[in-house]
Amino acid sequence: MAGRKPVSQLGLDRADVRRARTLARQVGKPIVDLAQRHTTVSVERATLRLAGLGGSDPDGTPWVNRLADVVRADVGLEHGVSLPVWDALVRGEGDDLLTLAQKAAAGSVTFRVPEGKDAKRASAAACKAVGAGIKQIDRQRVARERMIAKVGDAPSKPWIYLIVATGDIHEDIPQAQAAAREGADVIAVIRSTGQSLLDFVPEGATREGFAGTYATQENFRLMRAALDETSKELGRYVRLTNYASGLCMPEIAALAGLERLDMMLNDSMYGILFRDINPIRTFVDQRFSRQVHARAGIIINTGEDNYLTTADAIEAAHTVTTSQLLNEYFAKEAGLEDWQLGLGHAFEIDPEVPDSFRLELAHAMLARELFPDAPLKWMPPTRHMTGDIFKGYLLDGFFNLVGAMTGQGILLVGMMTEAVVTPWISDRDLALQNVRYVMNAAGNLREDFHPSPDGFIATRAREVLGEAIGLLQEIKDDSDAAGDPPLLAAIADGTFGLMKRPADKGKGLDGVARKAADYYNPAIEILEGDQ
């Protein structure tokens, strides 16, 4: 019957699903309120980048850092940088942002927070400059749509997602192009180890990354241009992924929009749990970055798979579902749509556990049913890869089979040399052959596979959903004497990934400021639709 909602293959109670989302909203809303009351140095630097300020001083410190630091020293961060900076420009302290940043670094400019007519003039000038950057993001989104219409898109999902990670952008490019020619639909350029903890974005094309390549605007531009050429050659648009995470999450999101990246790893809690970045800093930064991604038409990838590298994949399965529900709430509140939600999960159960494949299938089917319109990102086994490449290749085949049977949207290619070496091009070719065989042989198996309503798989899925609802209820009901959002207390207690991260600690806390009554940021106003 037309318009009739499909019946759950897992026997999920619709009331339970609604309750799970209601609880996620109730747990997430206090975090959004907290984010709206604060700003960070990276949000303010991202605003300057959207206005066109780039480059770095002779020591490699970006001009956005130099300018923001002087403004902060003069008047604090709580007012935002826009009013003080454009007030100085209107007063003739510099001909443009770059000149002003150079003079500020030399100590020849003193900033103030303008009032009255001066504030109005400064806000108007700031809005015009930042608006130009957001219009460039809009043009890049249109350019993507036009190119897909012209050269064609990947023929079907799942999109095959493959990593390059040489450390040298000029080596990454031919490897990425070769991977695309072998069948990859999405190229992810792994970021240099430790970049998430740098409180600045490096400049220029880089050749010296460690186990990855630095995320810079120029590296984004070079790789996007190269993949555009390969897209024309292949007759299908090849998507590009990088990382909007860490201490510079908002800035990297802005650069990704300006340079037409297509996906960004952007989890609400990854930096907190696995990089010990302050929780408040992270939640403020992720909200702004997701607003940029929503405007740019970028698909986000979340990091729930990482929980299962530190916690047991069976015992912690419900924390993955809980995080997916929270990531969905935070993403939609920031303006992202279902098609932009690459919610993460992973094939990480110990293969020695009886019925491990059935458990993986249950967890993957649960994610697919809870988020039917999201292009879920399915991650391959890593934790239990032992160095036995034959067993690893078989595990990757099982992983690919679950992806086929559950309709995952983004399938990261598993490597049989995981935990042995950084993959060679030949390793990637074998891994892609594995994917192609499974998808050709069983890609439509989802049409025929229907688990027994009272069988092992459906029962396990309902059990995990029930545990996720219980955890969300427990978080919601928890409170502390300081009145902090309950989710912050749950993170401090090690609820996710067994990592305990208090709200008053962690890297980057000194870059957080509570907004003053006269706080102004034109990027936020434009992205939220006020102008």
Residue range 190-235, pLDDT digits in tens: 999 999 999 999 999 999 998 899 999 999 999 999 999 999 999 9
Could you give the 3-state DSSP secondary structure of residue 213? strand
Which position among 237, 243, 270, 329 bears the catalytic label? 270
With a CB cutoff of 8 Å and minimum separation 6, the contacts of 7 are none
What pLDDT, on the 0 to 100 scale, is given for residue 429? 87
What pLDDT, on the 0 to 100 scale, is given for residue 262? 98
Of 367, 297, 382, 302, which is closest to residue 336 (Cα–Cα)? 297
270 given a catalytic annotation:
yes
What pLDDT, on the 0 to 100 scale, is given for residue 304? 87
Q: Say whether pLDDT at 271 is over 50.
A: yes
CA 367 to chain centre: 18
Compute the mean pLDDT over every residue in the chain, rounded to the nearest whole number.
Answer: 94
pLDDT tens digit sequence for 143-152 = 999 999 999 9
* The pair of three-digit structure tokens given for residue 225, joined into one six-digit string: 């241009």
Number of residues that make up the chain? 531
Element housing 425 (H / E): helix 425-442
**Mean pLDDT along residues 11-35:** 97
> In the chain, what are the domain boundaries?
1-36+312-496
pLDDT tens digit sequence for 66-80 = 999 999 999 999 999
Which position among 262, 377, 396, 427 bears the catalytic label? 377
Q: Say whether pLDDT at 4 is over 60.
A: no
User: Could you write out the DSSP letters of every residue in 325-364?
Assistant: HHHHHHHHHTT--GGGEE-EEE--S-TTSTTHHHHHHHHH
**Could you tell me which CATH number the domain at 1-36+312-496 has?**
3.20.20.440
What pLDDT, on the 0 to 100 scale, is given for residue 161? 95
Confidence of residue 5 (pLDDT cuts 50, 70, 90): low
285 given a catalytic annotation:
no
Q: Say whether pLDDT at 531 is over 90.
A: no
Amino acid at 96: D
Ramachandran region, residue 494 (left: φ > 0; alpha: ψ -120 to 50; beta: rest): left
What pLDDT, on the 0 to 100 scale, is given for residue 310? 80
**Mean pLDDT along residues 408-435:** 87
Give the highest mean pLDDT range of 244-253, 267-276, 381-390, 486-495: 244-253
What pLDDT, on the 0 to 100 scale, is given for residue 3? 47
Could you give the 3-state DSSP secondary structure of residue 252? helix
* The pair of three-digit structure tokens given for residue 183, joined into one six-digit string: 């069948």
What pLDDT, on the 0 to 100 scale, is given for residue 335? 97
Exposed, middle or buried: residue 354 (CB in 10 Å: 0-12, 13-18, 19+)? exposed
What pLDDT, on the 0 to 100 scale, is given for residue 482? 55
What pLDDT, on the 0 to 100 scale, is given for residue 332? 97
What pLDDT, on the 0 to 100 scale, is given for residue 145? 98
What pLDDT, on the 0 to 100 scale, is given for residue 427? 87
Q: Say whether pLDDT at 481 is over 70.
A: no
Q: Are 302 and 342 in contact (CB under 8 A)?
A: yes
Which position among 267, 285, 305, 396 bears the catalytic label? 305
What pLDDT, on the 0 to 100 scale, is given for residue 479? 63
pLDDT tens digit sequence for 170-193 = 999 999 999 999 999 999 999 999
**Mean pLDDT along residues 451-473:** 97
What pLDDT, on the 0 to 100 scale, is given for residue 135? 98
* The pair of three-digit structure tokens given for residue 472, joined into one six-digit string: 């969300």
- What counts of helices (H) and strands (E) characterise the chain? 19, 11
- Which contacts (CB < 8 Å, 24+ apart) does range 139-145 have? 140/257, 140/258, 140/259, 140/260, 140/296, 141/260, 141/295, 141/296, 141/297, 143/260, 144/237, 144/260, 144/262, 144/297, 145/297
Read off the DSSP letter of residue 62: B
What pLDDT, on the 0 to 100 scale, is given for residue 2? 45
Exposed, middle or buried: residue 207 (CB in 10 Å: 0-12, 13-18, 19+)? middle
**Mean pLDDT along residues 104-124:** 97
| CA Rg value for the chain | 23
Confidence of residue 113 (pLDDT cuts 50, 70, 90): very high
pLDDT tens digit sequence for 316-358 = 999 999 999 999 999 999 999 999 999 999 999 999 999 999 9
What pLDDT, on the 0 to 100 scale, is given for residue 87? 98
pLDDT tens digit sequence for 37-86 = 999 999 999 999 999 999 999 999 999 999 999 999 999 999 999 999 99
What pLDDT, on the 0 to 100 scale, is given for residue 425? 75
150 given a catalytic annotation:
no
